[in-house]
Structure 1
Amino acid sequence: MKYLILGAAGMAGHTISLYLHEQGYEVTTFTRSYFPIGKNIIGDAYYNLDLLSKVILEGDFTVVVNCIGLLNQYAEDNKQKAVFLNSYLPHYISDLTKEMRTRVIHMSTDCVFSGKKGNYIEDSFKDGETFYDRSKALGELDNAKDLTLRNSIIGQDMNVEGIGLFNWFMKQSNEVNGYSRAMWSGVTTLTLAKAIEKAALVNLVGIYHLVNNESISKFNLLSLFNAYFKGNK
């Protein structure tokens, strides 16, 4: 199988690229700066859409994994860019590959839901309230060829300025708070990579929630980080 990973230098993208490469798949990565895994193509989807289109049309990929996105406050501060990357781009890629063998696996987020109700299922009303939440909701692919995975992920980030929970925690030197009633049901970036591999093999389509078997409080999650990565058991 041939994979094209968009946004391969991000927290999700670099783990997905590394895992699939280690499994023996042919991996091409699309990043804004040099990336050492697979065949790397440097470009910016926001400024170089023609280049990205050319790569997809000529690459004969089995799967395009879209990990490109503008997160949280960055989306709020750059609304035009957020709409382009989070909302428009996934549908553009899906339309571009509509008559090709290439399938799209698109990364969405559990933030399309506000969390006020809880126990959301795939077809629950998307009640996310922030600009980021709504821009990601608009970008979801729900058709008979492509796949959208809604998830919340943790993992290491190549970018030292990454805003993920794990990166944030590992930078802390003093005591931090962990919310005992804030529950998390997400997965690690490695689990996400394995799920993408399986989904591609079985040709999974539509929208799916990618969650773990048992939710955990943010307090207990940080306690695990503290024990296993900082050695404070």
Structure 2
Amino acid sequence: MATGRQIPAGRIPLCQQHQYTMAGHRPDPRDRGAHRRRDGGRKSLMRLLVTGASGLLGLNLALEASQHHTVFGVVRENPIKLDAFEVLQTDLLAPKAVEDMLEHIQPDAIIHCAALAHVDACEDDPTEARRINAELPGFLAAKTAEEAIPFVQVSTDGVFDGQRGDYTEADEPNPLSIYARTKLEGEGYVSEFHPGAIIARANMFGWSPSGQRSLAEFFYNNLSANNPVKGFTDVYFCPLLVNDLAQILLAMLDKKLTGLYHTVSSDCISKYDFGVAIARRFGLDESLITAISVDDAGLSAARSPKLTLSSEKLARDLGQPIPTIEEGMERFHSLHKENYPQKLQEMRGVPSKS
């Protein structure tokens, strides 16, 4: 590497073994690049590796990408069962796991979605949060840079303190929570070890394999059961439908973009109004939503109140408009009518006990 700084994962006290299982045959490393082909008007196929493939973004992204590419999805403890792409179960924090994975898959690009994303869990275990959210992305970035493999690091809008809002990529971050601080540290490692990488600060909603991973699912599940819920009137965000985010990340790779981007919706909304929008879209009772201040919620980790980010740079460099929240909400509803949530949940396997 050009830098003399130690690859961060080398400092992690890792376990001695890692589980590594995958359906299918081992590709010949000599064939890397030769597997690309064109099918009619379709784009060139690439071998895309997606980490966190059992999560909200990872699974939706892998499914989206599998329509045009050969996809390999990495999971740690939550195996999934499907035919759309190959599933690799491994602990990326284990010794040699990353090196073995890269040798085994020979990917043309990697989108790193895996993270410890539960904000309060990060407060409870900051060491683990740093291992997963900061050091692992840095190690992946360093290893992919050595092989000139395009790398996308999915980060968070939470790197800002939310005091001002309307943040651009040029604004100085000031994270409030351990989760956000470790994600920002991961950004730093990635940009240092892989200067050509994409860092995508995101906020998303959508359907997940567990049915419980996004704010949209929280409102839908509770309102459908006639359960009262609370919505913050003083916390604003710019969430993209996860399916739209998946398409954008793939387009960024296709365009060979590099550097930092805000991959968020083109408009913003309070979390209370977001819940009301869900209720109205699905014909549910919006009176079940009580408007409250985040200061009265008793949360253990600080939340940034105004995470309104500008996606103008992204729209300009992609050469296309970024979807609005309303457009995402409409597609979210359409996916529900197509039984997409049920299809995702059917892909869940039995959680690993290891």
TM > 0.5: yes
Q: Measure, in 1, the Cα distance between the counterparts of 2:103 and 2:282.
A: 43
Q: Which amino acid aligns with 1:204?
A: L
Aligned equivalent of 1:17, options 53, 56, 62 = 62
Work out whether 1:63 is the aligned partner of 2:106. Answer: no
SS in structure 2 of the partner of residue 53 of structure 1 = helix
Q: Report sequence identity in percent.
A: 23
Q: Who is 1:103 aligned against?
A: 150
Note if contact 1:75-1:131 (Cα within 8 Å) is conserved in structure 2: yes
**1:81: how far off?**
1.3
Q: Cα–Cα, structure 1 residues 73 and 49, in superposed 2: closer, same or farther, change >3 Å?
A: farther
Q: Against the structure 1 CA distance between its residues 114 and 49, is the aligned structure 2 distance closer, same or farther, given a 3 Å change threshold?
A: farther
Task: Tell me which residue corresponds to 1:77.
Answer: 124
Residue deviations 1:18-57 (CA, integer Å, cap 9, x gap): 11112x21000110232224111111223x3422321123
Q: Tell me the residue number matched to 2:277.
A: 224
Give the letter for the 1:109 counterpart: T
The reply on whether 1:169 has 2:219 as its aligned counterpart is yes
After TM superposition, give the deviation of residue 203 of structure 1 in Å. Answer: 0.7
Checking the alignment, whether the CA contact within 8 Å between 1:108 and 1:148 is kept in structure 2 is: yes
Task: Find the counterpart in structure 1 of residue 231 from structure 2.
Answer: 178
Q: Paired residue for 2:196?
A: 145
Q: Which 5+ residue runs of structure 2 have no aligned equivalent?
A: 1-45, 287-354
Q: Is the 8 A contact 1:60 1:102 kept in 2?
A: no
For the residues of structure 1 that align with 2:203 and 2:95, how far apart are their CA atoms?
A: 27
Q: Separation in 2 of the partners of 1:77 and 1:49?
A: 25
Check conservation: 1:108, 1:136, Cα contact below 8 A. yes
CA deviations over 1:171-230 (Å, ceiling 9, x no partner) = 313233334443221211011101111001011111100122222232332122113345
Q: 2:240 aligns with which of 156, 173, 187?
A: 187
CA offsets 1:156-181 (integer angstroms, 9 cap, x no match): 1212453x212221231323333444
Aligned residue among 256, 260, 263 for 1:210: 263
| Residue of structure 1 equivalent to 2:48 | 3
- 1:148 is matched by which residue type in structure 2? I
Cα RMSD between the aligned structures? Answer: 1.9
Offset of 1:119 from its aligned partner? Answer: 1.8
Task: State the partner residue of 2:250.
Answer: 197
- Report the Cα offset of residue 10 of structure 1: 0.5
> 1:105·1:146 contact (CA, 8 Å) conserved in 2?
yes
- 2:187 equivalent to 1:130: no
Tell me what 2:75 maps to.
31
Q: Which structure has the larger Rg? A: 2
Whether 1:155 aligns to 2:206 is: yes
Paired amino acid for 1:145 = G
Question: How many residues get paired?
Answer: 230
Contiguous gaps of at least 5 residues in structure 1: none
Letter in 2 for 1:167: E
The residue identity in structure 2 corresponding to 1:211 is V
SS at match of 1:98: helix
Task: Please say if residues 43 and 52 of structure 1, whose CA atoms lie closer than 8 Å, have aligned partners that are also in contact.
Answer: no
For residues 79 and 203 of structure 1, the distance between their equivalents in structure 2, rounded to whole angstroms, comes to 34
TM-score by length of 1: 0.91
